[in-house]
Amino acid sequence: MTPEEILQYCLNNLEDTVLAESWGEKGIYYNPGNLLKRGVYVLTVKERDGGNDKSSLLNRENIYRVNLGVRNSTFERLFGKKPKRPAAGEAVSMDYDFTKTNTLLPHPVYAWMGWICILNPEKSSFEKVKPYIKESYEYAKEKFEKRNINI
C-alpha cells in the first residue's frame, strides 16, 4: 500500500476528518466544522526521519510509518505496560525492532502515550490495522468533545 492510499482510506471512511501536513508528516485529524485550529490527531504518516525520531530509519528508500494513538488498555493488551517517556532524540526502552516493516509495533517515541505504528503495511496487514484506526478515530472524537466544551 502507499501512504496516499492509507490517507485516502481515512478520509473516505472517517467522517469529519481533514488532512494536514506538518512537521514532515501528513496527518488525519478529527475536526468537524473546523472548530479547532487543527483538530485532534487520528493517524499520521511519516516518510522521513526527524530530529527526535530516527529509530525507524525512515530515510531508507520507499519506507514510511503509519502512526496512531489507541486507548491504554489496547496498547497494554498488545505490548504490555507502557514505557517511560524517552529522552529527547531517543527511542522508548522496549525490546522491538522499530525498523521492521509490515508488523504492528509500539511507536518508537510515543509509545509512552499509547501510540502504535506499522511500517509499510501490505494490504493484508492493513486490514488488521483498520480496527485500530477506528479506535483511534473514536478516541479522537472523545478528545475533541472534551476540548470543544471549552470553546
pTM, rounded to two decimals: 0.94
Retrieve residue 43's grid coordinates. Answer: 493517524
Q: What is the pLDDT, as a whole number, of residue 113?
A: 97
pLDDT > 60? residue 89: yes
* pLDDT level of residue 149 (50, 70, 90 thresholds): low
Strands 65-69 and 104-106, sheet pairing:
unpaired
Exposed (0-12), middle (13-18) or buried (19+): which is 28, by Cβ within 10 Å?
A: buried
Q: What is the pLDDT, as a whole number, of residue 22?
A: 82
CA distance 21 to 24: 7
